């Protein structure tokens, strides 16, 4: 177990997140949990000698040699916790007779997991806040830059670049708020014993009050509000499902953002940041592939699917304990947070360095505006005395003719000229051109950006700071 690495996502995640899930961090927590248990038991009346605590305190952080010794012992015992107990007893012999008294493996494994999950959730929140700040900056910067809207990836009523950024931002905020809420609910397993009844500790102390005091001491030592009131041998697996669910949601939001950028890059309207020496293709020197966004979608798909494992883990608990979730959790829980960390590093990099091309946006918009203006043309022509139904049919026919000229002959959009040449509309070329002001088609988009940022985003950032940008994008 101690040699376990996370090859799928560790390459892309930050050093900080990797260290949270490292073997050394985990075993350091195990040793501290044993120390807190022993200290509380001594205070509650067990005859544990002071040197036992002193020696254990001197070895809370395992050395490389101690980790290697535990790995050696695990080959004999086929039990990771017992291997580490024996390795620790060799360097802290006074503590050896008292180590793990009344506890089960889950006392160290599950409590340590919950501590790490809380810290990992907080790191994800800080990284998420940095992405929120970057997207908010982009939304404000381009609040009124009108661009062609798309439904079904077909030209539709215009929006603004800033409004589109707010759509991405709103999704992310939902995920981060959900994660914060679930993280705030985390409790510890505490000291519950073999089937969760605390019978071993009641046998030790002979007092329910002391058993409850022991549980409180463990929670307080690690800054938790308390422990789960009823458990089997393990901490509730349902809690882990709900904690990772927002990470799956975050991956969904990241996938949407990255896909939108890839689509817009193909239209030439935006581009992810690229280094001057970056190579896009080994065969085609001109290529500027959206490498970061493609990696985001790949990692996002992986993270989205991890949630199903946790659903099965929660569903497949047998009575008070089963071991078939052990290997799965050791894979899924670290990978979920490593993937989320990597996604947010990439997302921040793309959002903060996003390149926007207003001239291309204008060109694409201009090509489609005559079609989008047909309703306004219909209104103005009807106001001049035309028959609405006849004009509607005429516009339909002229629009098809214009589309054929664009697609079949490669022309610029000729619709306005066709309408101006038709006397039944009674509209000049100049009057028609006046109907094509982009802002009139974007509705309240710019105002929606202002309101969303002021009412929802800025207050959230004020409460959470600008976040942790951290972490470089790894090749």
Q: Are residues 332 and 421 in the same domain?
A: no
Q: Are residues 429 and 309 in the same domain?
A: no
Q: Is residue 298 part of a domain?
A: yes
| 79 in active site | no
Give the C-alpha distances (Å, rounded to integers) separating 361 from 226, 279, 350, 368, 438. 55, 26, 19, 11, 11
Give the C-alpha distances (Å, rounded to integers) separating 115 from 78, 256, 347. 25, 31, 26
Q: Are residues 143 and 94 in the same domain?
A: no
Residue 10's pLDDT is what? Answer: 67
Q: Is residue 455 part of a domain?
A: no
Q: Which two tokens stand for residue 35?
A: 């120390």
Domain boundary among 359, 394, 417: 359
User: CB under 8 Å to 289, separation ≥6 — which residues?
Assistant: 280, 281
Q: Are residues 142 and 270 in the same domain?
A: yes
Our CA angle for 306, 311, 315, nearest 5°, is: 150
Alpha helices per DSSP H over 271-387 = 291-315, 326-353, 358-372, 374-383
Q: Are residues 22 and 59 in the same domain?
A: yes
Q: Are residues 146 and 228 in the same domain?
A: yes
Residue 286's pLDDT is what? Answer: 59
Can you tell me the distance from the alpha carbon of 252 to that of 229, in angstroms, rounded to the nearest whole number? Answer: 34
Q: Are residues 144 and 87 in the same domain?
A: no
Q: Is residue 165 part of a domain?
A: yes
Nearest of 57, 60, 54 to residue 26 by alpha carbon: 60
User: CB under 8 Å to 137, separation ≥6 — which residues?
Assistant: 352
Nearest of 261, 202, 264, 198 to residue 231 by alpha carbon: 198
The CATH number of whichever domain residue 391 belongs to comes to 1.10.40.30
Q: Are residues 264 and 340 in the same domain?
A: yes
Nearest of 412, 419, 429 to residue 394 by alpha carbon: 419
Residue 3's pLDDT is what? Answer: 42
Residue 109's pLDDT is what? Answer: 96
Q: Are residues 46 and 135 in the same domain?
A: no
Residue 2's pLDDT is what? Answer: 39
Can you tell me the distance from the alpha carbon of 299 to that of 344, in angstroms, rounded to the nearest whole number? Answer: 11
Q: Are residues 237 and 308 in the same domain?
A: yes
The CATH number of whichever domain residue 246 belongs to comes to 1.20.200.10
Residue 326's pLDDT is what? Answer: 83
Can you tell me the distance from the alpha carbon of 279 to that of 286, in angstroms, rounded to the nearest whole number? Answer: 9
Q: Is residue 293 part of a domain?
A: yes
Candidate list 184, 207, 281, 434, residue with the active-site label: 281
The CATH number of whichever domain residue 54 belongs to comes to 1.10.275.10
Q: For the chain, what is the radius of gyration of the CA atoms?
A: 31
The domain containing residue 158 runs over which residues? 117-194+224-274+289-359
Q: Is residue 75 part of a domain?
A: yes
Q: Is residue 133 part of a domain?
A: yes
Tens digit of pLDDT at every position of the chain (475 positions): 334 455 556 688 999 999 999 999 999 999 999 999 999 999 999 999 999 999 999 999 999 999 999 999 999 999 999 999 999 999 999 999 999 999 999 999 999 999 999 999 999 999 999 999 999 999 999 999 999 999 999 988 999 999 999 999 999 999 999 999 999 999 999 999 999 999 999 999 999 999 999 999 999 999 999 999 999 999 999 999 999 999 999 999 999 999 999 999 999 999 999 866 665 655 566 567 889 999 999 999 999 999 999 999 999 999 988 878 888 899 999 999 999 999 999 999 999 999 999 999 999 998 888 888 888 898 899 999 999 999 999 999 999 999 999 889 988 889 989 999 989 999 888 888 888 888 888 889 999 999 999 999 999 999 998 766 656 666 5
Q: Are the CB atoms for 1 and 26 separated by under 8 Å?
A: no
Q: Is residue 443 part of a domain?
A: no
Q: Are residues 54 and 163 in the same domain?
A: no
Residue 169's pLDDT is what? Answer: 98
Q: Is residue 26 part of a domain?
A: yes
Can you tell me the distance from the alpha carbon of 87 to that of 93, in angstroms, rounded to the nearest whole number? Answer: 10
Domain boundary among 28, 63, 98: 98
Q: Number of folded domains in the chain?
A: 3
Q: Are residues 171 and 92 in the same domain?
A: no
| 152 in active site | yes
Can you tell me the distance from the alpha carbon of 316 to that of 110, in angstroms, rounded to the nearest whole number? Answer: 17
Can you tell me the distance from the alpha carbon of 452 to that of 450, in angstroms, rounded to the nearest whole number? Answer: 6
Where are any strands of DSSP class E within 84-237? 146-151, 154-160
Domain boundary among 334, 359, 384: 359
Can you tell me the distance from the alpha carbon of 315 to that of 61, in angstroms, rounded to the nearest whole number? Answer: 36
Give the C-alpha distances (Å, rounded to integers) separating 68 from 51, 65, 78, 397. 25, 5, 15, 80
Residue 334's pLDDT is what? Answer: 94
């Amino acid at each position: 177990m101690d040699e376990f690495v996370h090859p799928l996502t560790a390459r892309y995640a930050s050093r900080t997140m990797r260290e949270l899930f490292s073997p050394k961090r985990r075993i350091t927590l195990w040793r501290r949990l044993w120390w807190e248990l022993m200290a509380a038991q001594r205070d509650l009346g067990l005859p544990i000698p002071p040197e036992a605590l002193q020696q254990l305190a001197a070895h809370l952080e395992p050395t490389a040699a101690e980790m290697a010794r535990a790995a050696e012992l695990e080959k004999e015992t086929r039990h990771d916790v017992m291997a580490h107990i024996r390795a620790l007893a060799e360097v802290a012999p006074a503590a050896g007779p008292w180590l793990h008294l009344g506890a089960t493996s889950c006392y160290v494994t599950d409590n340590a997991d919950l501590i790490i999950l809380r810290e990992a959730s907080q790191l994800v929140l800080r990284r998420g806040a940095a992405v929120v700040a970057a997207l908010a900056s982009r939304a404000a910067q381009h609040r009124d830059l009108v661009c062609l809207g798309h439904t079904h990836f077909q030209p539709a009523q215009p929006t603004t670049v800033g409004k589109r950024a707010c759509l991405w931002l709103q999704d992310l905020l939902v995920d981060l708020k959900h994660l914060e809420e679930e993280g705030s609910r985390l409790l510890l397993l505490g000291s519950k014993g073999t089937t969760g009844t605390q019978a071993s500790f009641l046998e030790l102390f002979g007092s329910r009050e002391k058993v409850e005091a022991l549980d409180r001491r463990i929670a307080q030592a690690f800054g938790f509000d308390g422990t789960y009131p009823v458990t089997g041998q393990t901490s509730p697996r349902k809690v882990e499902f709900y904690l990772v669910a927002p990470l799956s949601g975050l991956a969904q939001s990241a996938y949407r953002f990255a896909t939108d950028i890839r689509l817009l890059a193909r239209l030439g309207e935006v581009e992810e940041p690229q280094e001057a020496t970056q190579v896009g293709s080994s065969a085609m020197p001109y290529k500027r592939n959206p490498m970061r966004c493609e990696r985001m979608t790949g990692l996002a798909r992986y993270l989205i699917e991890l949630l199903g494992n946790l659903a099965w883990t929660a569903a497949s608990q047998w009575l008070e304990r089963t071991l078939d979730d052990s290997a799965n959790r050791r894979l899924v829980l670290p990978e979920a947070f490593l993937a989320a960390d990597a996604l947010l590093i990439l997302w921040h990099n793309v959002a903060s360095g996003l390149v926007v091309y207003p001239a291309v946006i204008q060109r694409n918009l201009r090509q489609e505006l005559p079609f989008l203006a047909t309703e306004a043309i219909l209104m103005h022509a009807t106001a001049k005395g035309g028959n609405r139904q006849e004009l509607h049919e005429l516009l339909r026919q002229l629009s098809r003719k214009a589309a054929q000229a664009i697609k079949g002959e490669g022309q610029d959009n000729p619709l306005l000229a066709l309408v101006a040449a038709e006397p039944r509309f009674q509209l000049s070329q100049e009057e028609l051109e006046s109907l094509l002001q982009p802002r009139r088609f974007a509705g309240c988009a710019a105002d929606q950006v202002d309101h969303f940022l002021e009412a929802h985003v800025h207050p959230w950032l004020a409460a959470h700071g600008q976040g942790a940008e951290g972490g470089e994008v790894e090749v």
